[in-house]
Each structure stands twice: as structure tokens, then as C-alpha cells.
Amino acid sequence: MARTEQRILALGGASLQPDSTDGPLHQYLLDLTGEARPRICFIGTAGGDDATERANFYAWFARRAEATHLGLFTRRVDDIRAFLLDQDVVYVGGGNTANMLAVWRAHGVDVALRAAWEAGIILAGPSAGAICWFEGGTTDSFGPGVDALRDGLRFLTGSFCPHYDSESLRRPRYHELVGNGRLPDGFAADDGVGLLFRGTHLAEVVAAMPESRAFRVEKSRAGVEETSLKPRLLRG
């Protein structure tokens, strides 16, 4: 398959459980490939390679794509770079972002993912699977509160805040962290919202449900400026 551009779909939050309303987001992701049955790899490191999370991934994607996964706690893949370069999409699950990045770096997944991105393979994921592509973001990786994570993969500039509407601490804490300079300017997204980046620039905002929003959050003289980004509503 000829690939011509780098693309990342950062999801504010998305579920693969049977009762989820996020199906349109996942179908949108598959449609981006232009393939009838794209190859998609799930990486569940942030969730500790949880078997239920992996089963939910297969239950949704295996009917629509050639689905596989990369496990690192019980590793079965020798050449990770070659394995990821053979995919059309890499989908990263949510969980502990800091732990995920540490494990990735120990196994060379960070380097393999950059090679995949540069080759035009679409990278995507919710929460930890969105924060990781940026310089940093808001995380609960370090305890019950929300703090700054500042050692992301840096494929995209700026920061990212997921779960903007569903976790009460996220919005005020993100404003604080951007306002005091611990996190750079960035983007925030409600659950069920996806931000598509082509290259390193935001190209489109999409949502699975009406009234969901994304935001541009920037440090300003008055403190923090928040600009709403209205998504395109996806059809179910």
C-alpha cells in the first residue's frame, strides 16, 4: 500500500465494550486507511496487557479488519519494528501512560512507532493512547490526582488532555498546568471525540455523539485562553 502522509487520531476517551457508543469513531479510523479490511494492531501496555481489554478489541475490530496485538508483558514478537511496519493502523489502549512509556522504551517500541508513523501507518488511541504522541499531557499515572506528564514521544508538539468532560479534575488542572508553564499549549477533548492530525497539524475534529467538544488551550496574559473546536458529528 502506498502511503503519502503521517496521521494520528487522538481520542479524548473511547470504549470498545459491547455497549459503547464509540463505534463511529472506530469505523472512522478504519475508513482513513482506504482499505476494505485494514490491518490493525492493538497495543495494551498501558492497561498491563489486560485480557478483557484485548478481547474487546478483537470483538469489535476482527469483524471489520485483520486484527492482531503486540503484548509486552508476555512478549511473543521478536522484531517489533517489522511487525508494526506491516500494519495499516496501530491502536494504543488507555491506562497508565507513564508506565507504558517506560515499558515501550525498554523494548524499543518508541523507536518502532516513530518508524511506523514516518512510513504513513496511522497511529491512534484514547487517553494514554492519545497523550503519548504529544510532548506531554495530564495524567493520573502518579497517583489519585491529576499531574503533568512531560516525557511523551513528541511526534506532535504541545500537550493533550483527555476526558475533559467526564473527569472533574481534568479541566481545572489542565488550565493550571498550562497557565504555570508546566505543560505547553495544547488540545483537550471530551470522551467520544477524535482529533485527526495530518503531519503535525490538526486537520479535523470528529465526534460520536452530539454536544461533545474539543478545545485549544493556550497560555495568555490573563491566564489561560480556551477556544472551542466544534466537531463534525459522525453517523452511526
Question: Which DSSP letter does residue 45 get?
Answer: G
Could you tell me whether strands 66-70 and 39-43 are parallel, antiparallel, or unpaired per DSSP bridges? parallel
Given the residues 26, 69, 163, 175, select the one marked as catalytic: 163
For residues 166 and 190, is the Cβ–Cβ distance under 8 A? yes
The dihedral built from the CA positions of residue 171, 177, 179 and 184, taken in this order, carries a sign that is negative
Cα–Cα separations (whole angstroms), residue 34 to 29, 30, 62, 138: 10, 8, 17, 33
For residue 159, give Cα distances in angstroms to 35, 49, 136, 226.
Answer: 31, 25, 5, 14
Residue of 15, 26, 127, 141 marked catalytic:
127
Q: Is 163 tagged catalytic?
A: yes
Active site residues: 127, 163
